[in-house]
Amino acid sequence: MADTIGIAGTGQIATGLAVAATRRGDVIVWARSEDSLERGRSRIEVVCKRLPEDDPADPSRVRYESDLEVMTQAEIVVEAIREDPTDKCELVQKMAPLVGPDTLLASTTSSLSVQQLADASGTPERFVGLHVFNPVPKMKLVELIFPPEATQSTRDRARKLCDELGKTVVEVPDTPGFVVNRLIFPAMFGAVQFQQESGLEAAAIDTCMQLGAGHPMGPLALLDYIGLDTAVAIGDAIGIAVPDDVREKVTAGHLGKKSGRGYYEYD
């Protein structure tokens, strides 16, 4: 029987991971409020309905809880809240004393220091950075990042989890943005700058990159999909210049697909 996985968070990454994890066993989703849990439940049900019949997920395997002590019932606990170092460190610091001594602790951070998060947990020997990609049920890559204190058991269990999720693992160094985000965000922000300079429509730039460079999604559509607020957080963490246009959209509440407007408008 597969270990129960506890996921703290109800955003796109958290719920996507929950959907993928139902293919291997039971899942507990935690959030601070009932409203957040309902949003998470809705997201999970929508994603499950959109999956192909030959690769389904089982939303009935997910429990929704607002008491953090529920994580005592999970053998693997994953922090998957927004990309804010203070919030993430505080949450792993709260969760670590609640869980058993053999519980694997993970974070889905996409850009932050895994060592810092591991130190905040107080148990770096069983901590791992589990950088999954959105949409989690479909994207095959997981970047694994281990602090030096991680035991061989931690490393083996993290790889086993990824295998059970059907993912391809690449172990990467604990550098800001790791590999994918370190390389792709300068290109996406470059597309924003180019749009400002050229006046081209977002769709024109994205079509050029899809058909000319073979990208599955254009850079501006991808920014919308990631979320412009998340993009700002990652850009700041990596230490690259975030275009003013992106920051202005975030200030205006235009966060991309999740808010209905970014570089495109959405229903």
Q: Which residues are catalytic?
A: 110, 131, 143, 181
How far is 202 from 194, CA to CA, in rounded Å? 10
Provide the angle, in degrees to the nearest 10, between the axes of the packed helices 34-50 and 12-21.
60
CB 18 within 8 A of CB 7: yes
Q: What are phi and psi of 131, to 5 degrees?
A: -85, 95
Helices (H), 62-199: 85-95, 114-121, 152-164, 180-198
How far is 188 from 257, CA to CA, in rounded Å? 16
**Bridge-based pairing state of the strands 27-30 and 62-65:** parallel
CB 129 within 8 A of CB 157: no
Give the Cβ contact number of residue 155 at 10 Å. 14
